[in-house]
Structure 1
Amino acid sequence: MPIYNKLVRDLIPNVIELDGKRFVTYRLDDQQYITEVNKKMHEELAEYEAAITSDDAIEELADLMELIHSAAKFHGVTVEELETVRAEKAVRRGGFEARIFLVEVEND
């Protein structure tokens, strides 16, 4: 039986069961959960970076968004509250759409 030892989406056990396969899972405590969410974010980011097509990139971005939603909820905010923080920061510091690459800044 392959060993995965990773956080999976909530319906994956159902998918495995429908395939007629046996599996072992357990529920993570808070510290284990946020640790695994963080690991999964890194995994999905690597998959996004490796994506060849825009369709593949979009799939990986959707996975990252799902994890961001989960992390926000874990930290006690809604996605809407997170979006408010993002928007306020964009007003104060801008976004990344201008594609500005800072090379250096003169010292005083």
Structure 2
Amino acid sequence: MTVYNKLVRDGILDDIQKSGNEFEFQVLEDGAFEDALHKKLQEEVEEVISAEDNESTLEELSDVLEVVKALADLKGSSLKQLEEMRRNKVEEKGAFKERFYLIDVLDGEEEE
């Protein structure tokens, strides 16, 4: 027996059943579902970071996006609304195209 204790995509249980294996699962309520999505997001981000090629990176980013979509849905929002918020933030503060990496800022109090 392999113990997973993690959120899985909807089709995974069908795949396990088709393989002839038995399994145990539960349907999560909103609070537990949100917690599980947060853990899944961390898992997927770690997989993005450890991906070794472009194809794997893009596949893992698509998994991150699916988790983000599920979190947005849970909060009564959508990817369309998130995209609008993202665009607004880009207009206000910019994106990451310039690749700026801030080292430090001399505060006014430190000046002589």
Please indicate the TM-score interval, normalised by the length of the shorter structure: over 0.9
C-alpha distance after superposition, 1:11-70 (max 9, x if no partner): 100000010100000000111000000000000110110000101101100000000100
Taking only the aligned residue pairs, the percentage that are identical comes to 33
Partner of 2:8: 8
CA distance in 1, matches of 2:77, 2:44: 22
In our comparison, the structure showing a higher alpha carbon Rg is 2
Aligned pairs, number: 108
CA distance in 2, matches of 1:89, 1:71: 19
Q: Which runs of 4+ in 1 moved over 2 A?
A: none
Partner of 2:38: 38
- Name structure 2 gaps, 5 residues minimum: none
CA distance in 2, matches of 1:35, 1:97: 32
Partner of 1:50: 50
* TM superposition score normalised by structure 1: 0.98
> What is the alpha-carbon root mean square deviation over aligned residues?
0.5
Partner of 1:106: 106
How far the C-alpha of 1:9 sits from its partner, in A, is 0.2
How far the C-alpha of 1:97 sits from its partner, in A, is 1.2
CA distance in 2, matches of 1:83, 1:53: 26
- Name structure 1 gaps, 5 residues minimum: none
Partner of 2:88: 88
Which secondary structure state, in structure 2, belongs to the residue aligned with residue 82 of structure 1? helix
How far the C-alpha of 1:94 sits from its partner, in A, is 0.4
Which secondary structure state, in structure 2, belongs to the residue aligned with residue 65 of structure 1? helix
